[in-house]
Chains A and B, each alone.
Chain A
Amino acid sequence: QVQLVESGGGVVQPGRSLRLSCAASGFTFSRFSMYWVRQAPGKGLDWVAVISDDGSDKYYADSVEGRFTISRDNSKNTLYLQMNSLRAEDTAVYYCSRDISVGVGITGLMDVWGQGTTVTVSS
């Protein structure tokens, strides 16, 4: 079945780095744009970044621009989020999600979500 499994979360000190991974299975990963969305404790959904199916287009929320980098390895069916210069306000559950449409670029709609990985930024 279609599945997204995030990993790489943990507790990290402010200013340090962390890399999240999202392993995809059950669908042709290389044909879908992919997203990272986060949710701070007790808060709402916050879109973080998106990457097109071939990796040529990337967009970031202003809050992470210049600190986070989204990437993918289609040969490994894996999405990544490199997070540098982490701040306390980056503490959240990070979800990866899949675009609803195949092969048509970034639509902004997310139809499959992983279970999330928790990132805690604290000294």
Chain B
Amino acid sequence: DIQMTQSPSSLSASVGDRVTITCRASQGISNFLAWYQQKPGKVPKLLIYAASTLQSGVPSRFSGSGSGTDFTLTISSLQPEDIATYYCQKYNSAPWTFGQGTKVEIK
């Protein structure tokens, strides 16, 4: 099975900072990569799919890029409401594996 590895596991940044999270697949998955946001005590929310397509209603400060095995999620200007754990997920085929998550905190 394809493994999904995120880095870093956690990060602390200031409001307004540019934040980048990386996700690496152990085999190529084309652009079948999604990002989810889970705020503390809340359910996951789909942010981005097809590696770079924003789900409806997601602020434009979020962006995604990558293809094959290496992907990134970028928050262009971190806001207090972005405090959450972010998960990547492969969806090219079963099993639909998630990365281990990246916890984003405010410095």
Contact = CB atoms under 8 A, between A and B. Distances in A.
Of the four ranges (under 10, 10 to 19, 20 to 34, 35 or more), the interface on chain A belongs to 20 to 34
Contacts, number: 58
A114 B43 contact: yes
Interface string B35-67: 010100001111001000001000000000000
Query: Interface SS of chain A: helix, strand, loop or mixed?
Result: strand
A95 B87 contact: no
Interface in B10-50: 32, 34, 36, 38, 43-46, 49
Interface stretch (A11-19, A71-79, A105-113): A105-113
A111 B53 CA distance: 14
Q: Kindly name the residue among A44, A97, A114, A115 whose own CB sees the greatest number of chain B CB atoms within 10 A.
A: A44
Task: Give the interface size bracket for B toward A.
Answer: 20 to 34
16 contacts: A35-B96, A44-B87, A44-B98, A44-B99, A45-B89, A47-B89, A47-B97, A95-B43, A95-B44, A107-B91, A108-B92, A108-B94, A109-B34, A110-B44, A111-B46, A114-B43
Interface of A: 35, 37, 44-47, 50, 59, 61-62, 95, 97, 100, 107-111, 113-116
